[in-house]
Amino acid sequence: MDISRLIDPLNEPQRQAVCTDSQHTLVLAGAGSGKTRVLTHRIAYLVETGQASSFGVLAVTFTNKAAKEMRSRIESLMMQPPKGMWVGTFHSLAHRLLKTHYVEAKLPEQFQVLDSDDQLRLVKRIVKDLNLDDTKWQPKSAQWFINGQKDEGKRFKHIPPSSDFHEQGMLKIYEQYELICQQTGVVDFAELLLRAHELWLNNPEVLKHYQERFRHVLVDEYQDINSIQYAWLRVLCGENANLMVVGDDDQSIYGWRGAKVENILRFSEDFPKVETVKLEQNYRSSGHILKAANAVIDNNSGRLGKELWTDDEDGETIRLYAAYNEHDEARFIADDIDGQSDEFNEMAILYRSNAQSRVIEEHLIRMSIPYRIFGGHRFYDRLEIKNAMCYLRMMLNRHDDTAMERIINLPVRGIGNKSIDTMRIFARDQGISFWQAASQIVEHKILPNRACSAIEGFLTLINDIDSQSDEMNLAEITDFIIKQSNLIAHHQKEKGEKGRTRVENLKELVSAAASFINESDNSDLSEFVSQASLDAGDNQADTHEQAVSLMTLHSAKGLEFDRVYLAGLEEQLFPHKMSMDDPDGLQEERRLCYVGITRARKHLCISYAESRRLYGNEQFNASSRFIREIPNEHLQEIRLNSQVSRPVMFTETPKEIMSDSGFQLGQDVNHPVFGRGVILSCEGIGTNARVEVQFIESTKWLMLQFAKLEAV
């Protein structure tokens, strides 16, 4: 069999990963090193050489966009659709599993997925029902608490009682939340993974079937998996599966949402006889950019270790702009963009905090430069679309309380908040769904005639739409529901562009339903609604006209641009003040900087401000340590109408200073007076060198020659 077309396009390390005979393989893939190519060629290689069938391969990634691209590439390499192969996100694969085994998972056949907004709506209702003060037990915090517990694999019954009054309230909310979700047949995103993991554990025959089926498991972005995803994989792989994971410990930046970099760091300990392959050749960035990224990330400890390199030339040095304030910084960036010949789509402005975008937007508007906020409201997140989807959900499940509560008086039909509160209390007291409560209230005339008539009108509307749409396909049902619910007429009442856009979006939903039929050969309403919920949780921006992209550094992961502006590199802002006294947090901030630098292909400009008004306060912060960690030869400072070499303040890098002293940034030290601390930063040369140390009760600048610091 000729597999040269799969092997020849690869470099030597890529070929090693694709053709490996090892049971377990860790592919350390640096930024821009071709990790997706390795994954897709590996899958095609396994099938083409007869080592696996399409039916026996499961490939997991983190976004729907990445999964779609992976499937497309596999199909192109194999020159046929990969029938039977499971390729998708953790959540979509877990959803598919639960749909197939809903009985064993103790779920109704037509269970629905709550997106983040609907989950928050349910939590708010629970906080109110429990008579908790929502200023002390904030629904958003309770939502994060619930999802965090599920990400760790913990249900309410697994959490020991707490003596903390606030946590007691959180546990009550979690307990009631679990009960309502089970009663109404809905699951949230975190529940998908937790329930799928429990399905493995509680049903040995089901687990055995999938362990025997999926002998080859491949995982993308392994550095980003959380505890429950890790547990799900471990159980599925068992002792016999061949597991290949691809990731980069230097790009682990989602610790704040449960990702554990330890999973990739200890992969060789968790699985026997692991082969490690390093992909270090970068096909994206120029030499100066890569060398700067390597220099910054080299200051982190505990790395698996790799060094990015390129066959391309060094290219343009990284430009550094020292702004007077945030307006000067934004003006410089806008002027610089305006003077470039690159297409706007090839430019991006990255920043640590969303709050930084406001001033940048103002200056882009003044210069008439089109831009978009990457990760803004996406199609299925838009208010009018969410409303329409709730009508669709009611067709599938009358007991979907969150959907019904959202639309029972939308468009307005005379059902006020007092009536809704009465239904909510009645449902809670009787232990029944919102729909059942509404029906009984109408039947027994518990509310005034006018309210009962309005509620009855809503119930009749839903039943009539359902019965009249029996013979329609998915697109026809969607169009029929939008029209019969009067959502278009409702939004046409909104004046100006907003109302017009909402109506256009509702019409586009019909097109989305039609496209779903064509792309998936599936006209099932339940599948369409579930896919919409999954898409709403995906962090991908819409594609529009030519525009400069503005985004946080976290949103930039996985993207690349010819020209990148990295704004606001100042101590307290980046690295963020919440991370500066935590060595692990500081290392994640440095990884975030590494990600930001490596988004640039050809041109990178870094800026910082001597003063910045942010969150309503004037701040005077030093330039970021990450700038000081970049060697001199890769930076060129930009002044108005002139260019100068790197300023004197950067003559020595912290790494050089610390090397001479015998200490390292992030190192634990002990002081005879202040006790134990961690080294945050340093400045100065020789006998004048001093270090900033975070102690338990305070932060101190100490002269190294007098400090009497001892390494811990």
pLDDT band, very low/low/confident/very high, at 611 (cuts 50, 70, 90)? confident
Task: Choose the catalytic residue: 35, 121, 195, 382.
Answer: 35
560 catalytic? Reply is no
pLDDT per residue over 534-572, tens digit each?
766 554 435 557 899 999 899 898 899 999 999 999 998
Helices of type H across 469-557: 474-484, 487-492, 496-520, 525-536
What does 542-582 look like in DSSP terms, one character per residue?
A: PP-SS-EEEEETTTTTT--EEEEEE---BTBBTTBTTTTT-
- What pLDDT, on a 0 to 100 scale, did the predictor assign at position 644? 44
Our separate counts of H helices and E strands in the chain read 29, 23
pLDDT per residue over 478-532, tens digit each?
999 999 999 988 888 776 556 777 887 788 788 778 767 765 566 688 888 887 7
- Output DSSP code: residue 624: P
Long-range contacts (CB closer than 8 Å, 24 or more residues apart) made by 120-128: 121/402, 121/405, 121/406, 122/177, 122/180, 122/181, 122/401, 122/402, 123/173, 123/177, 125/401, 125/405, 125/424, 126/173, 126/176, 126/177, 126/180, 127/173
Task: Choose the catalytic residue: 61, 176, 211, 251.
Answer: 251
220 catalytic? Reply is yes
Task: Say yes or no to pLDDT of 109 above 80.
Answer: yes
* Calpha distance 473→517 (Å, rounded): 9
176 catalytic? Reply is no
Q: Write down the mean pLDDT value for the chain.
A: 87
The answer to whether 544 and 371 have CB atoms below 8 angstroms apart is: no
Task: Choose the catalytic residue: 48, 191, 220, 336.
Answer: 220
* Calpha distance 332→337 (Å, rounded): 9
Task: Choose the catalytic residue: 599, 612, 655, 690.
Answer: 599
- What pLDDT, on a 0 to 100 scale, did the predictor assign at position 659? 55
- What pLDDT, on a 0 to 100 scale, did the predictor assign at position 622? 87
140 catalytic? Reply is no
Pairing of strands 318-323, 635-639: parallel
* Cα 235 from chain centroid (whole Å): 24
Give the tokens for residue 582: 């935590």
Please state the length of the chain.
Answer: 712
* Calpha distance 203→196 (Å, rounded): 11
Q: How far is CA 448 from CA 415, 455, 590, in A?
A: 11, 11, 62
36 catalytic? Reply is yes
Q: Which residue in 642, 597, 649 sits closest to 623, CA to CA? A: 649
What's this model's pTM, rounded to 2 decimal places?
Answer: 0.74
Task: Choose the catalytic residue: 20, 23, 36, 138.
Answer: 36
pLDDT per residue over 153-190, tens digit each?
999 999 998 899 999 999 999 999 999 999 999 999 99
